[in-house]
């Protein structure tokens, strides 16, 4: 492949459904017809995704509070 063309390649993710030997995409890719493409198939697992989101929110809630005001006035720093 020509290196100049290779620089313009952008990876995009499309959602679709597998039917036999065909993948039906929910939206039309911005590629010309008959263009070679590499397809990586990863089944969607909504329960797993929901569990990950729940754990991430829980971690955010348990996170220490950063950026809170420790001193009201500059002089308070020197009083220590």
Per-residue pLDDT tens over the stretch 14-69: 889 889 988 899 999 888 888 888 888 887 888 888 999 999 999 988 888 777 77
Dihedral of CA atoms 53, 51, 24, 36 in degrees, nearest 10, equals 70
From CA 37, how far away is CA 5, in angstroms rounded?
Answer: 14
H or E element that contains 19 = strand 16-19
Kindly report whether the global pTM for this prediction surpasses the value 0.85.
no
């Amino acid at each position: 492949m020509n290196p100049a063309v290779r620089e313009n390649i952008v990876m995009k993710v499309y959602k679709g459904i597998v039917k036999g030997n065909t993948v039906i995409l929910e939206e039309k890719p911005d590629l010309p017809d008959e263009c070679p493409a590499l397809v990586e198939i990863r089944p969607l697992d909504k329960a797993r995704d929901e569990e990950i989101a729940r754990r991430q929110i829980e971690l955010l809630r348990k996170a220490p509070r950063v950026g809170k005001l420790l001193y009201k006035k500059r002089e308070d720093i020197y009083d220590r």
